[in-house]
Structure 1
Amino acid sequence: MPQMYKMVIEKVKEQLKNVTAVCLTTDGWTSRNNQSFIAVTAHFLNPENDSELSAYLLGCTSFPESHTADNLALFLKNTVSEWGLNDRVTAVVTDNASNMKLAIDKCDWRRISCFAHSVNLVVQNSLEIIEPVITKIKNIVSYFKRSSHALAKLEEYQKQTGSPILKLKQDCPTRWNSCYDMLERVLKLREPITATLAILNSNHLNSLNSYDWEYTANFVDEISLPKEVHDMAEILKKKLLIRFGSIEDNILIGQAILLDPRQLKNKISTITTENELPNSYELISAEPISSTSSAVWGDFDKTVNHITGSNNSTAASIIEMDKYLNEPLINRHENPLFMNNIHNKMVL
């Protein structure tokens, strides 16, 4: 096994030698036994087939050190150096933790916030409006998760009443659907839960009154929407605008949209409607030599225009950009890397 591991490591390093640029994703977490880990993954275009996106897990290791920005930056730099990727990191995707954001700044890399993490933060903000009821339900679920005796009594009650044996689900802050799953499962087990808590004299946990149960059912029911749901929607809208309202001002996102043939027309239509180009991509127009009315000079002027156009890098870039912007929009299910590969071969 160690020999196979070394062979794989050498194979990956050899492939990475031919990669011109990589994007990293990194995240840290704590296991159930309270052990800290951090992982780094490299994403890049396959050098043997640049229409294929490849990814390698560079490391998933224990990280007992304090999660300060300095320690994280040192770990990331060492990992990148170990794999020979210095000066080839184009961007890093991370969560929104302040220590991770500062660590990427210290490495002098460009950073993009993880979209899923940002959306989850928005959802967690909106759930605060029903926090009192959620807290009560979380306490009940945690009790049955901790106590094997209580869990056995809950399952025994379900068997005695002929109900399906269902397990409670705990909410996980990093997965917003888990809150809905927890509420839905608690509603299905309402009678077994209340009966078991009463049998065990756990009255301090059996604190959900009839209003709380109805309140919870309204949130799970797609038909009945209480005022709190509308308030949550307003919070969602507000927080989404805060986190994503200026997303197109991010230069990395702008470049990605411009280079994606699936999104091209949507982005360019906005630009042309405002009759302006982004400051980062200002182009200087070049007027071609006008043809005279004499047919004698027609071929001559065409030749001169062709020669001057091919030798003028600015004019050539304008022509190439114009051709690209006028290409048809491809289906969003198609591989944009494959289309760009075809385009590059046509240019060459």
Structure 2
Amino acid sequence: MHSELEAERERLQAQRRRDLDKLKAESEEELNAERKRLQERKEEQLASLKLEVRQYEKDSAVHLEELDVDSSRCFSCPPLCYMTMGSSGLHKGSTERHPHSLAFPQHRVFAVMGMRQVLRDFVATLDPTYVLPTRKAVKAMAEAKYQQEKEKAKAEVLKVPAVSLTADMWTSLNMDAYLKFPQAHTAENLACVKSSLMEEWGIKSKVTCLVTDGASACGKNLKLRHAVCIAHTLNLVVKKALELTPVLSTIRTKARKLVGYFRSSTTANEKLDLVQEHMRKPKKKLIQEVETRWNSTFQMLERVAELGEPVGAALAALQTDIPALTSDDYNNICACLSILSFS
């Protein structure tokens, strides 16, 4: 009996081994088949992508002059790295081959196509029936819309009985002129341009007053009543009063140095943020005064007074020679702010 049980056990074990070997062989075959299928699919996708690249090169004519752009930015390269639109994959003005032209075909598609072709494909995906207008067509439409709106504005202006003008040669913070005025800013040149604009808009006989910032050249030779901007004059009065008050002038100088230190030092700025966080106060930044910006002195002093406690604590923790504002300084600042805010 014992020998029969042993024989049956050995038979079952042998059968189990055969089943396991068979299952392993089948799994290996299925795995190899799946690997082969994935490899074939990968090769098909790569071949399709290569065909797509060649088709884009053919359809887009792949040349800057034909695309009417100066250069095409390579999105994966540094800002100064540009590609020509040819199929050679060369840097513009260089004999070195573009590093991404072969390694990443999908990247090269975008580099070769140019932004205009990318936009065409995007719009075609949204609406295949829509035809993008050319650059010249867009320019013509913009000019036509400008003339249309200008005529509407002229018609509205012609209905009014009187017109008051304001004039200033505005510039940006970088001193770039908003309106190009190639001539010298003399009274004669300014008057000539203003007279021409009034003629163009048909209001020369309707202008009753010209408001300027106080520059004498702005209103001369036009035979118009000249008024100085009250807001600009008030700003000049406040600035002059601050300069002529020794205590406020000293506080203003100290505040500028204090704000400049915290705005130029990342360590000081981080310390100020940390102190405000520990004091459970909202994180705010100091505001620097800008000479040409109205109210900037008020805003600087107001923020300095608001952050007086956090700024004092931050300065105490930092190793710096920047002098802190005293209690008398803060009292004077508060008194000055109450006057400037008309409270």
* TM-score normalised by structure 2 residue count: 0.48
Computing the radius of gyration from Cα coordinates, the structure with the larger value is 2
* TM-score normalised by structure 1 residue count: 0.48
Q: Structure with the greater relative contact order (CA < 8 A, sep ≥ 6): 1 or 2?
A: 1
